[in-house]
Structure 1
Amino acid sequence: MSVSPPVAPLRLDPAKFRDPQLTARGEARASVALAGLRTLWLNTGTLCNVTCRNCYIESSPRNDALVYLTAAECRTFLEEIERDALPVEEIGFTGGEPFLNRDLPAMLEEALARGHRALVLTNAMKPMRNQAAALLALRDRYGDRLTLRVSLDHYGALLHDLERQDGSFAVAIEGLAWLAQNGFRVNVAGRAAFGGEGEAALRAGFAALFADRGIPVDAADPVALMLFPEMDAAVDVPEITTACWGLLRLSPESLMCASSRMVVKRRGAARPAVVACTLLPYDPQFELGGTLAEASRPVALNHPHCARFCVLGGAACSR
């Protein structure tokens, strides 16, 4: 089945998200200070074995806008964490598909050996299974300190395959079951609004799937089964002002950029760079420097994703 995504009209107000200091209405834009670096994400490269219809990072078998990070480059940031006694607890690996990067096992080994937890975001397809021996060795040495979060857009094959490609659901489920059978700690990431179902129905559907396949993931646990909001860049969203914190009864420290940063390496760049978060790898205003120290400055919430994904999650403080 081949389905082309509909072309959505751009509904985002072009006057918004222009000035890092002020909103289109002239109000003070909210920013988030780094309260403490708890999670460092490493983007292993944007190449992926599948092309999804709505990939926010545009990963595909041809997109190498972010090239493979090497184990030596990874080590530089891990050494900075150790040298500066940064409070990093977890090293996350994302892509693209991280298992396409042949240095991934070495990077995982380095992170785990230094005492960090490691989290890998994967589609659990062939690239992961190709590195089964290395994964099993890491499991034997580090056990539950290694977590693999498998992407399943929906608990049914039809919608998952519509997003990714025909037959991808069956392969992903086989990979997820292999992880479970071999004693790995696994989480699952789905999509909150996919198929038009409410959260309760989605979690019930995933619970039935996990029970049927013998996969020990608690679908009621929001960490074990994360349901992420949609990332439709064509839909208008309000800008986040300093007043929104009080109106939404939300603390800036609850946002991702208060406790995490991501390392990327751009095609043609001499060295990696540190960006504000996993959602904004391409926007130059969110590139913060070449070291974790340089990247410790506050982040202005000057992008629709800041509102859509991180702050609101379906709520709104102003229009």
Structure 2
Amino acid sequence: MKDLATQPANAGKFQNRFVTAQGETRASVPLSKPETLWFNTGTQCNIECENCYILSSPTNDALVYISTDEVNAYLDQISERGWPIREIGFTGGEPFMNPEMIDMARAALSRGFEVLILTNAMRPMMRRTMREGLIELQRLYGTQMTLRVSLDHYSRDLHDAERGAGSFAKTMTGMDWLRDTGIRTTVAGRAHFDEDEASGRAGFAALFESNGFAINAQSPAELVLFPEMDAEVEVPEITTSCWDILGKRPEDVMCASSRMVVRRKGADHPVVLACTLLPYSPEFELGETLSDAEQDVQLNHPHCAKFCVLGGASCSA
């Protein structure tokens, strides 16, 4: 897997876990308010996007399917550690490729957690067994469950340029079904199409209104617009002095409130990662248990700077 820290734009940076290229103390983030525990359901996906941060594809099984038993083991640990988790998130790959997706969601919902499932709303979600399972979960748990649909742009052409010809139409069919079924739906788009945020949100608002989607395009929780992860763009390293300079706090960064569980191909056990965006960076692997994962996270990657600190993004709802 490619290492963005060694790309030409950031050569020499992000090499030492604790010290920047200029010899300053690197900023770190403690787990101060654990709110979301993510499970990566596996890196396999029904499509291969032009710019996928996790390199998901029909053939990438670097992260294999996680199981309901493994999810339950970590849900038990939440109680044992006393983490104030409110939300369980499922991401991929495409989560509905995992045959145990419905059972895993049910395990979390039945314990009272909110559940967020990220999906492209295409064929894997639209299989009969998955639709029947979602209808049953909706009946039992209502708005406790949310599906966040990846819709890169409100225009067919720009979305399809990222995800392949015909992808927009298939995703819209899935969203129509979610609307008609009454399943709470939000959207994740991309913010790199040479338009300002206001224009982007206005375009999505028009699309949502014309299709009867009950999604507020002005709400950052209902329409998340993620910045592009461009390895060719130089980003600064975040030092301890940056917090005051930027007017931000460590507790505002995503790794202060979340962790992600993955199962690597060939591994005996799942492991816990500091960040949903860095599944292949070994320095962000914290151990096998939630207890292991309570350590501070050094912001030693370009994504830490561009996406989380400077961009202020969050994968949670």
- State the TM-score, normalizing by the size of structure 2: 0.95
Contact between 1:239 and 1:307, CA under 8 Å: does it hold in 2? yes
State the secondary structure of the residue aligned to 2:224.
strand
User: Does 2:204 match 1:206?
Assistant: yes
State the secondary structure of the residue aligned to 2:115.
strand
User: Does 2:34 match 1:75?
Assistant: no
Equivalent residue, structure 2, for 1:231: 229
Q: Distance in 2 between matches of 1:170 and 1:92?
A: 26
State the secondary structure of the residue aligned to 1:227.
strand
Q: 1:284 aligns with which of 282, 285, 296?
A: 282
Q: Distance in 1 between matches of 2:9 and 2:300?
A: 13
Q: 2:309 aligns with which of 308, 311, 315?
A: 311
Q: Distance in 2 between matches of 1:291 and 1:229?
A: 31
Q: Distance in 2 between matches of 1:86 and 1:245?
A: 26
Q: 1:40 aligns with which of 37, 40, 49?
A: 37
State the secondary structure of the residue aligned to 1:187.
strand
Q: Distance in 2 between matches of 1:182 and 1:95?
A: 23
Q: Distance in 2 between matches of 1:79 and 1:243?
A: 38
Q: Distance in 1 between matches of 2:137 and 2:34?
A: 25
The offset of 1:233, in angstroms, is: 1.7
User: Does 2:108 match 1:107?
Assistant: no
The offset of 1:83, in angstroms, is: 2.3
Contact between 1:93 and 1:120, CA under 8 Å: does it hold in 2? yes
Q: Distance in 1 between matches of 2:63 and 2:231?
A: 21
Equivalent residue, structure 2, for 1:192: 191
1:251-297 deviation per Cα after TM superposition (whole angstroms, max 9, x unaligned): 11011000100000000000100000100011000000000110110
Equivalent residue, structure 2, for 1:90: 87
User: Does 2:74 match 1:55?
Assistant: no
Q: How many residues align?
A: 305
1:43-82 deviation per Cα after TM superposition (whole angstroms, max 9, x unaligned): 0000000000000000000000000000111111001112
Percentage identity across paired residues of the two chains? 56
Q: Which amino acid aligns with 1:147?
A: T
Q: Distance in 1 between matches of 2:7 and 2:133?
A: 45
User: Does 2:169 match 1:163?
Assistant: no
Please report the RMSD computed on the Cα atoms of aligned residues, expressed in angstroms: 1.1
Q: Distance in 1 between matches of 2:288 and 2:241?
A: 32
Structure 1 gap ranges (5+): 1-8, 315-319
Q: Distance in 2 between matches of 1:84 and 1:179?
A: 35
State the secondary structure of the residue aligned to 2:58.
coil
Contact between 1:47 and 1:62, CA under 8 Å: does it hold in 2? yes
Q: Which amino acid aligns with 1:21?
A: F
Q: 1:294 aligns with which of 292, 295, 301?
A: 292
The offset of 1:85, in angstroms, is: 2.2
- State the TM-score, normalizing by the size of structure 1: 0.94
Contact between 1:190 and 1:227, CA under 8 Å: does it hold in 2? yes
Equivalent residue, structure 2, for 1:222: 220
Q: Distance in 1 between matches of 2:301 and 2:10?
A: 12
The offset of 1:160, in angstroms, is: 0.4
The offset of 1:10, in angstroms, is: 4.4
